[in-house]
């Protein structure tokens, strides 16, 4: 996987192959949120491809397609996950 991402998120980085599925299949997202112990409806999935975001939405997650760091920051603030400065 991407070492800088793994360093940032520690043990909470998952490859879809670990769930016996691949994005954008719904079971990929559902198995991941199950592993995390959270509900799909309370999970925000961020990706830079429409197909993967659509797959997450189809599985009942919240979804956002990444286009820029500034736009993501605004989206995270909208969800109350960060304070936007």
| Residues 24-39 pLDDT 10s | 999 999 999 999 999 9
Q: Residue 5: its pLDDT value, please?
A: 78
* Beta carbons of 40 and 33 less than 8 angstroms apart: yes
Q: For 74, what's the count of Cα atoms within 13 Å in the CB-facing half-sphere?
A: 6
Confidence bin at 73 (pLDDT 50/70/90): very high
Q: Residue 1: its pLDDT value, please?
A: 61
* Beta carbons of 65 and 75 less than 8 angstroms apart: no
Q: What is the CATH number of domain 3-78?
A: 3.40.50.1000
Please give the model's pTM, rounded to 2 decimal places: 0.84
Mean pLDDT for the chain overall: 91
* Beta carbons of 56 and 30 less than 8 angstroms apart: no
Q: What is the mean pLDDT of residues 43-53?
A: 96
Tokens encoding 81: 């996950």
**Domains in the chain: boundaries:** 3-78
Classify the C-alpha dihedral 34-21-41-45 as positive or negative.
positive
């Amino acid at each position: 996987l991407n070492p800088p991402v793994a360093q940032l998120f520690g043990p909470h980085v998952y490859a879809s192959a670990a769930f016996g599925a691949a994005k954008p299949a719904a079971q990929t997202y559902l198995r991941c949120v199950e592993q995390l112990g959270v509900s799909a409806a309370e999970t925000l999935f961020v990706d830079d491809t429409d197909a993967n975001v659509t797959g997450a939405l189809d599985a009942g997650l919240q979804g956002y397609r990444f286009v820029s760091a500034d736009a993501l920051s605004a989206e995270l603030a909208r969800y109350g996950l960060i304070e936007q400065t």
